[in-house]
Every structure is written in structure tokens, then in C-alpha cells.
Amino acid sequence: MKPSKTSKQWMREHVNDPFVQLAQKEGYRSRAAYKLLEIDAKDHLLKPGMVVVDLGATPGGWSQVAAHKVGRGGKVIGLDLLPLDHLAGVDFIQGDFRDDAVLKQLEDLLQGRPVGLVISDMAPNISGIVSADQARAMHLAELAMEFALEHLTPEGSFLVKVFQGAGFEEYLKQMRSRFSKVVSRKPKASRDRSSEVYLLATGPH
């Protein structure tokens, strides 16, 4: 199958992307690592000894950063529908985080330790139908927020990728009603033309 004009353009951008090149040079699994690194530098989310759950972890850029920051005394648990190549310091569960069996695996791995941070860089497979893609992206964000509310400590934080568009304002309003503090972040590694933004919520109630 011949690559489309759009996919060729994406590949050209991807290869020339300075964050892609930097990730390859510095050994990160993906350019997304720099988004988390920048947000963490500003908001000091990741602390030694902390327990972190990474929803939609594959290919592992965020889990990699988190594992390095929390150190041996901490714990990083990644979940994804897709497989993840082994990452030092990361416990990985392949499956749907909405499934009871997967949640049971997660709870077994936690061993009663409280979760200090839930991170989600999930995005749906893009169909090209903007309204459908946006609806699926917001649905994933809603599921991630419900998960965070169920598992976080009272002073814990939730970082989630969302896309500005239909449903965004309602989601933000709901988030503000469920957390003590909500801020938005647009890291440099997030492409300018992308409608993605990261919402950081602290203090679930």
C-alpha cells in the first residue's frame, strides 16, 4: 500500500523533530518523555519513593522518566492494551484498566501502598473523523479521571492529556469540581499545531 501524502509528511516531520532526535540520543523510548520532564520541572510531581500509575504506558517514555525520578524506593506500574518492552523499575500489566481482572492485578502490585500520582498520555487510534476521534479521546480522559479519583491519596495528583474541542470545557469543569487545584500545561515538546493540552489536578475530593 502506497503511503499517503499525510503519512509521508508526518514521517518527514517525525524524523526531523528535534525531540525525536534527542530521545534517540538520550535513550528515551519516545519524544513524550520530554513533555513529562518539562511539566515535572515546573510542578515537582515526581518524588523519590512515590507510587506512580501510568495509564496508556506503551512505548514507555513516561514510565521511564517516572521510574528514574521515584528511584528504587518508589514504584511505577504501567498499564496498556499494547505490549511494553521490559523497562527497569517498571511493573507492567497488559490489558484494559477498566477490566476487573486488570484492576485486581494492579491492586496486587500496589500491596496496599497509596498512589501519589496517576499519569495518562493516552490517545485513541485516529480515524480521521474529527468528531469521532475527539469523542473517543474525551472518553479515555474521563475513564482516566475516574481511575485517579478511586486510587489517589487525598494529596495525590493526576496528569492527563486532553484535546481541545467538543467536550473539553465540560471535562475541565468536572475536573475542577473533583479536585482542589487544576492547571493546564502545554510543554515545548507538544507540537504547536496539536490541540493537545495537559491538565494537572491535585487534591481529589
- Residue 43 labelled as part of a binding site: no
The answer to whether 8 is a known catalytic residue is no
Q: Give yes or no for a contact between 163 and 8, defined as CB atoms under 8 angstroms apart.
A: no
Q: Which residue out of 161, 173, 181, 188 is catalytically annotated?
A: 161
Residues, the chain: 205
- Residue 121 labelled as part of a binding site: yes
Helices (H), ranges, the chain:
5-16, 18-26, 33-43, 61-70, 100-110, 130-151, 168-178
- Within 8 A by CB and 6+ apart from 104, the residues are none
- Can you read off the three cell numbers belonging to residue 184? 493546564
- Residue 128 labelled as part of a binding site: no
Annotated binding site for S-adenosyl-L-methionine: 60, 62, 80, 96, 121
Task: Catalogue the active-site residues.
Answer: 161
Annotated binding site: 60, 62, 80, 96, 121
